[in-house]
Amino acid sequence: MAKYKYHILICGGTGCRASESDQIHKQFDIILEEKSLEEDIQVIQTGCFGFCEKGPIVKIMPDNTFYTQVKPSDCLEIIEEHIIKGRSVNRLLYEDPETKEHVEDSKHMGFYKKQLRVALRNCGFINPEDINEYIANDGYLALANVLEQKNPMAVIETLKKSGLRGRGGGGFPTGLKWEFAAKNKGEQKYVVCNADEGDPGAFMDRSILEGDPHTVIEAMVINGYAIGSTMGLIYIRAEYPLAIERLKIALDQALEYGFLGDNILGSGFSFNIEIKYGAGAFVCGEETALIQSMEGNRGEPTFKPPFPAESGYKGQPTNVNNVETYANIPVILNKGWEWFSSIGTEKSKGTKVFALAGKVNNVGLIEVPMGTTLREIIFEIGGGIKDGKEFKAVQTGGPSGGCLTQSHLDTAIDYDNLLASGSMMGSGGMIVMDEDDCMVAIAKFYLEFTVEESCGKCTPCRIGNLRLHEILEKICAGNGTREDLDHLRNLSNVIKDASLCGLGQTSPNPVLSTIDNFWDEYLAHVDDKKCPAGVCRELKRYEILPDACVGCTVCARNCPVNCIDGERKQVHFINQDLCIKCGACYDKCKFNAIIIK
């Protein structure tokens, strides 16, 4: 085998590929061939590094040099300077936003310092399309050990002791779930991987499948062996073409190597995996709705009990776990439950992946030990709020979660603390908001999503959420009353209590948590007819400051409804009755003479 001096790792996640990372790969190959360096240097496409803000990412090993925002035209310089002359290309290095210094390697970047990558251990490290790299990094070792020991109950026992809880949102203990499925009898039990990631802004499951598909396959086979199932199904949304492609390659390779199919690793145990495609309905992330959808029915949840562990897919005992949960399992079995349970808080063990989005400097995918505080995530890993603005709130748990404020910044994040603060873990979406975000509008945004995604089976969710959305629209338009605020609260509680599945039971959370934490803002909308953040269009009022206006006429010429009057070199005025609040004048004024009230 050729002995390479350097490995060039290129991020092949969906985000970086959208910014031409596959072109970068091709470019490197061409240059290396031209310079006859292909024997010395290997170019590898990996999964997501997580630092999507600064993609495409190129990492040079063994130097650990981390290049950001690389363009295909930069490849020649990287080869000539870094590889041939041994000098790093400074302009492509990450610049610390505070010290303004270039950071050479990823170990010294604030973004990575606090992270502990367990579920994402192979993302950005191995080539997801090469099973050999997975094997070289302890891949399928856990499965081989499990099959060698021939003790399925011991696997379940280990998981129970590890304290692993479902990463899809519910936080149900995984070991217990497996135990139920193992105890129930059935002709053909099923193992289902829930890859129907629906939270807006969350993309950890996609990144794991794109960056390390074999870990999910390995964990599913272990799952099958532990509960006595020979058939696995991966329910993945069809909008994830790259994840599906890599998953298919991985399944073929696993079959070829004997990790899937008949008589796995000579143990006599057989297991197969099939991919099922979802059409991208949020409710299908709920396990009973997911099973309905897999059976070819409408994706609607059913009553629990019976739980899927008793009667799931085709009426058989079925175990459903989320992608991230599966990604933890091979490591737990390899390193032992003691190791895993030493990470995290008392009731939440291990790490959690969060998709950090919104108004933070370092948008991306991060993994931290449970118990890390919001402050550490937002200000140390996330690098603080964009453009030096003030932090206002962070939304966790997607449309089912709630908003947390300044006062929650030092709360240690785990399943229970988040619930106690009126939010939830969810699948790990984390959207940061600054002073320019209106909390009423945010609640409205999430409700819009829920109204769209409600399956319509039960009345409180189908109609209740629509009414909630209407009231919020009314408030944002400046027509809200104090009575509406009472209605919001009452209706929210009814929807929570009376809905059938998790979608309805949690959909009013964004409303309730913003009412609790930002009551003043609701009052400002209702009583003063003002939007303090200046977001709600109907409540905005553009005015021209007479002292600052020089009469350049730019605003009047750009106004689409001709509602600005004024002579040349004279102060201009906005006719408020005609103004549609489009903000064109505000954007065009070079003298900062137009203000939003």
Partner 1 sequence: MEKIKSLADLKKRQESLKSKIDLRDRANDPESHIQVKVSMSTCGIASGAKHTMEILIQEFNRHKIDAIVTQTGCMGFCFAEPTIEVRKPGSEPIIFGYVNEEKAIEIIEKYVLNDILVEGIIPANYQSIDNK
Q: Are 164 and 175 in contact (CB under 8 A)?
A: yes
Q: Min. distance of Cβ 143 from partner 1 in angstroms?
A: 9
Q: Which residue type, as a one-letter code, is found at position 31? A: I
Q: Are 37 and 79 in contact (CB under 8 A)?
A: yes
Q: Min. distance of Cβ 104 from partner 1 in angstroms?
A: 9
Q: Min. distance of Cβ 62 from partner 1 in angstroms?
A: 4
Comparing CB distances to partner 1, the nearer of 105 and 416 is 105
Interacting residues toward partner 1 by CB under 8 A: 1, 3-7, 9, 61-64, 85-87, 125-126, 132-133, 135-141, 144-145, 147-148, 256-259, 265-266
CA distance 556 to 415: 54
Give one DSSP letter per residue of 509-536, joined into a string.
HHHHHHHHH-HHHHHHHHTS---TTS--
Q: Min. distance of Cβ 123 from partner 1 in angstroms?
A: 13
Q: Min. distance of Cβ 175 from partner 1 in angstroms?
A: 23
CA distance 539 to 562: 20
Comparing CB distances to partner 1, the nearer of 148 and 274 is 148
Q: Please state the separation of Cα 468 from the chain's center in Å.
A: 26
Q: Min. distance of Cβ 24 from partner 1 in angstroms?
A: 18
Nearest to 445 by CA among 496, 385, 510: 510
Q: 280: buried, middle or exposed (CB in 10 Å: 19+, 13-18, 0-12)?
A: middle
Region label for 208, one of left (φ > 0), alpha (ψ between -120 and 50) or beta (otherwise) = alpha
Q: Min. distance of Cβ 61 from partner 1 in angstroms?
A: 5
Comparing CB distances to partner 1, the nearer of 122 and 454 is 122
Comparing CB distances to partner 1, the nearer of 50 and 139 is 139
CA angle centred on 117, ends 114 and 118, rounded to 5°: 140
Q: Min. distance of Cβ 227 from partner 1 in angstroms?
A: 21
Beta-bridge partner residues of 321:
193
**Which residue intervals of 212-315 are DSSP H helices?**
213-227, 241-257, 287-294
| C-beta atoms surrounding 231 within 10 Å | 18
Comparing CB distances to partner 1, the nearer of 140 and 542 is 140
Comparing CB distances to partner 1, the nearer of 219 and 559 is 219
Comparing CB distances to partner 1, the nearer of 4 and 591 is 4
Considering only CA atoms, give the Rg of the chain.
27
Nearest to 249 by CA among 279, 219, 275, 269: 275
Comparing CB distances to partner 1, the nearer of 140 and 518 is 140
Q: Min. distance of Cβ 571 from partner 1 in angstroms?
A: 57
Q: 84: buried, middle or exposed (CB in 10 Å: 19+, 13-18, 0-12)?
A: exposed
Comparing CB distances to partner 1, the nearer of 26 and 150 is 150
CA distance 532 to 346: 40
Q: Which residue type, as a one-letter code, is found at position 35? A: K
